């Protein structure tokens, strides 16, 4: 839940810096800054442990794959898609991420969908639909001018699912959370450089003219959204299946709505509150009490 709250802050922060930077800069400047800020932390951690950062050349292809198809493609498709479709359409398409993660985890990791996880998915989906009623009402799927944006946003969701699942493989190879984060974000940062040269040139005047709120926003994205939240998420992947961990992403719309109330003075409706409660209960059932629930049903069947 804490990780999803951190991810939800991205929406508010982007609103603060959206008038100062273009979409490519918003997507990749915080990523590059995050890589530079956390590199000394990795070096300090390695020095404290008395060993150099772990690196196996035969794993380089895995970090290239995760960094390109995950970090880079995710942010690039997200940025282009957000420009070409409605926010309501994007919010609804985002609901596909846990399902895509479950499919990817089943294929790549052999994870199984237990009855508790299936019911948890359905409950969480019902809860998040309650929090997303305004988005559902204002969405326009099938409209030709939004079709490209919708497809790009679906690509971004698929890239997110792929990245989360692939990073589970890297975690299982005994790489630390910090190593996985830095190696993949470094790959994404390198691939973003051509965009700053040919697609959206970045000029120092744009950054120097930003107010303090926008600068703090970029720093928040670098440290919290791209940094601390991902480290916590990778830590969770050590304890849970990737399917279980990603079910909690259905809490994102609730936290986005809550932050909109606090920061943008929007109204928190009863549907949003009830939907958030349902998502919380279903997430706890799948991530904390799954074994107890399965054992209880097994006992009931045997008796």
Predicted local confidence at residue 136, as pLDDT:
62
**Average pLDDT value for residue range 208-231:** 91
Q: Where are the domains of the chain?
A: 2-111+139-246
pLDDT per residue as tens digits for the range 20-77:
888 889 889 999 999 999 999 999 988 888 877 777 778 889 999 999 998 899 988 8
Predicted local confidence at residue 139, as pLDDT:
61
Q: Which structure tokens are listed for 59?
A: 């794993």
Predicted local confidence at residue 266, as pLDDT:
59
pLDDT per residue as tens digits for the range 238-295:
988 998 888 888 787 777 777 777 776 656 677 767 877 887 888 888 787 788 888 8
pLDDT per residue as tens digits for the range 116-134:
888 887 887 787 777 666 6
Q: pTM for the complete prediction?
A: 0.84
Distances, alpha carbon 217 to alpha carbons 14, 21, 26, 229, 260, in Å: 8, 12, 10, 15, 16
Average pLDDT over the chain reads 84
């Amino acid at each position: 839940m804490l990780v999803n709250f951190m991810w939800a802050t991205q929406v508010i922060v982007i609103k603060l810096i959206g008038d100062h930077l273009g979409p490519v800069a918003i997507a990749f400047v915080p990523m590059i800054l995050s890589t530079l800020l956390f590199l000394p932390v990795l070096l300090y951690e390695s020095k404290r442990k008395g060993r150099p950062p772990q690196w196996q050349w035969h794993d380089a292809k895995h970090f290239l794959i995760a960094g390109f198809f995950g970090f880079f493609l995710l942010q690039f498709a997200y940025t282009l898609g957000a420009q070409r479709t409605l926010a309501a359409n994007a919010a609804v398409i985002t609901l596909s991420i846990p399902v895509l993660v479950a499919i990817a985890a089943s294929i790549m990791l052999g994870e199984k969908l237990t009855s508790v996880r299936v019911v948890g998915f359905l409950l969480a989906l019902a809860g998040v639909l309650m929090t997303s009623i305004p988005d559902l009402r204002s969405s326009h799927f099938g409209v030709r001018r939004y079709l490209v944006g919708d497809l790009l946003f679906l690509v971004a969701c698929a890239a997110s699912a792929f990245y989360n699942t692939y990073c589970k493989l890297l975690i299982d190879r005994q790489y630390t959370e910090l190593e996985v984060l830095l190696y993949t974000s470094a790959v994404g940062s390198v691939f973003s450089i051509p965009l700053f040269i040919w697609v959206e040139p970045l000029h120092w005047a744009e950054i120097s003219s930003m107010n303090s709120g926008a600068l703090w926003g970029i720093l928040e994205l670098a440290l919290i959204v791209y940094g601390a939240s991902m480290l916590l998420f990778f830590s969770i992947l050590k304890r849970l299946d990737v399917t279980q961990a990603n079910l909690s992403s259905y809490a994102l719309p609730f936290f986005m709505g809550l932050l909109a109330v606090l920061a943008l003075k929007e109204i928190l409706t009863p549907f949003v509150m009830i939907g958030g409660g349902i998502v919380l209960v279903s997430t706890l059932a799948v991530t904390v009490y799954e074994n107890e629930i399965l054992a209880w049903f097994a006992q009931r069947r045997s008796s």
